Amino acid sequence: MAVSPARAAAFDIVLRVEQQDAYASELLHSSRFAKLSPQDHGLTTELVMGVLRWRSLLDTEIASASSQKLEKLDIEVLIALRLAAYQLMFLERVPDRAVVNESVELVKRARKRSAAPFVNAVLRKLADKTSGAKAGSGTQPAVAALKHLPTQKLGPGEAEFASAKTEAELVELAELSAHPLWLVQRWTKQFGYEAAKQICIYDQHVPESSIHLHREGELSGVRLSPGKLLSSARRLQPGTSINVGDPRFNRIHIQDEASQLVALLAGKGSNILDCCAAPGGKTRLLADRNPHATVIAAELHPHRARLLRRLVSAQNVCVIVADVRMLPITASFDRVLVDVPCSGTGTLARNPEIKWRLRPADLLEFQERQLSILQSAMKNVAPGGRLVYSTCSLEREENQDVVEKVVSADVSFRITECCAELEKLQLEGEMVWKDLGSLTSGPYLRTVPGVHPCDGFFAAILEKRV
């Protein structure tokens, strides 16, 4: 029996994610899989992202049907089992027989033929179990339980989200939402249990795709909805996709609304530096909002700089390959954007593999790098100029702690209230989100997935004293 193109592609992508620390979203849009039909590409995406989102839950179900401990299985065998388990548990239109047979063939294709009888036995047992569960409830029980966890809807402007819960309740949330317990514990401590729950639920759904609309009519024929945070943002309606091979869309970049908002916080300037600039969505926004300014976009990695040049073709943008910590220029800038590499815990709905790779100790390693980048960038800010520091992380170590460390060490900078800039954007008609207070934590911008309809971003505005 031949393996379908979609399942073969999904297997290959998940294997690379596991073995090479690759990112699924990048592989799904790589040239290697561009020849898949739209239907096959859609199924491949569903399988890959589904397995990565629900990995721990899938492993629990596989373990209950397996005679061997999962840690002793070859990774190829485990991935074939996870792909099958996801289809059996979540995809009602896929016949169980086809799932089992193709998964056995995937193991053979991966040169693990001796494991084929084991995979067949495990999946038949799992198919019997999940078929009974679906027949009784209409969906996989753990998924239904997650959806029906009692949730208190957070009202506008609430700074304190909810009371603490018992450890058993946190374990239940972590298991049902397929999140590492240590992350659930952190988020509960920082944001409260209700917000932590909403983060977990948001992470387990396919997020809406947003774009920045540079010109009305540039996406004619594509079904769009208005932005929920920004007037210049649009959201692709469910079932809508952009074919990257279509020349009409060669300068369109999918960019979460919170990411767009970070770029808007930089404001207007005449000499702008964008540090760590790739993939370029923020660079393009800076250039569009400041058409008469010079925008220097620095990117460390040459291949990412090439992608950046293709996306941002504005004449006022100069892309350079450089480490921000050793910039080959001595100019001062009135606007500097420092969107640093980070853990990415605010983007788990889009990058679910992160939650299985990340360890608590990694956060301080990120912080060390972030401190060095930010301190270097601060040297390029002109007196009276503004620097925006941002991450797509939910973790305090990468956010407030970094900002407070650098400001305490350099008294020439002060932290400016983000709320004032948000109010200005609202008056200018840029902001459509009404409850500005919910977007801030102290002087900082703070978006929380599930609480807000976007990824989790942090931003701080630092101004250099004259």
Could you tell me the pLDDT band of residue 159, with boundaries at 50, 70 and 90? very low
Do 386 and 263 share a domain, yes or no? Answer: yes
Percent residues over pLDDT 90 in the chain: 79
Q: How far, in Å, CA of 371 to CA of 377, rounded?
A: 10
Looking at the domain assignment, is residue 91 inside a domain? yes
Distance CA 16, CA 5 (A): 17
CA 61 to CA 84: how far, in whole Å?
11
* Count of domains for the chain: 2
Q: Token pair for residue 26?
A: 């990048």
- Whether the per-residue pLDDT at 139 is higher than 50: the answer is no
In eight-state DSSP terms, residue 188 is H
Q: What whole-number distance in Å separates Cα of residue 184 and Cα of residue 202?
A: 13
If one counts every other C-beta atom within 10 angstroms of the C-beta of residue 134, the result is 17
Last residue of a domain, one of 142, 161, 193: 142
- How far is 347 from 52, CA to CA, in rounded Å? 13
My answer on whether 264 and 408 are in the same domain is yes
Arithmetic mean of pLDDT, 31-38? 90
pLDDT at residue 137, as a whole number: 47
Residue type, 252: I
Of 107-111, 158-162, 398-402, minimum mean pLDDT range? 158-162
Instruction: Give the model's pLDDT for residue 286.
Output: 95
Q: Residue 207's closest CA among 255, 135, 243?
A: 255
DSSP category for residue 73: S
pLDDT above 80 (res 466): yes
Render pLDDT for 198-227 as a digit per residue (tens, 0 to 9): 999 999 999 999 998 776 555 666 788 999
**Residue 371 lies in domain:** 257-464
Mean per-residue pLDDT of the chain: 90
Q: What is the pLDDT of residue 243?
A: 58
Query: What is the CATH number for 303?
Result: 3.40.50.150
CA 7 to chain centroid, in Å, comes to 24
Give the percent of the chain with pLDDT over 70: 88
The confidence score (pLDDT) of residue 241 equals 65
Last residue of a domain, one of 123, 142, 161: 142
Q: Give phi and psi for 90, each to the nearest 5.
A: -120, -25
Scanning the structure block, which residue is given the tokens 């036995």?
Answer: 121
Element (H, E) at 176: helix 167-176
Q: What is the CATH number of the domain that holds 24?
A: 1.10.940.10
Q: What is the pLDDT of residue 158?
A: 45
* Residue 251 confidence (pLDDT) above 60: no
Q: Is the pLDDT of residue 162 over 50?
A: no
Of 94, 85, 80, 91, residue with least CA distance to 58: 85
Mean pLDDT lowest for which of 145-159, 181-195, 393-407, 418-432? 145-159
The H-assigned helical ranges of 38-115 are 38-53, 55-65, 75-90, 96-109
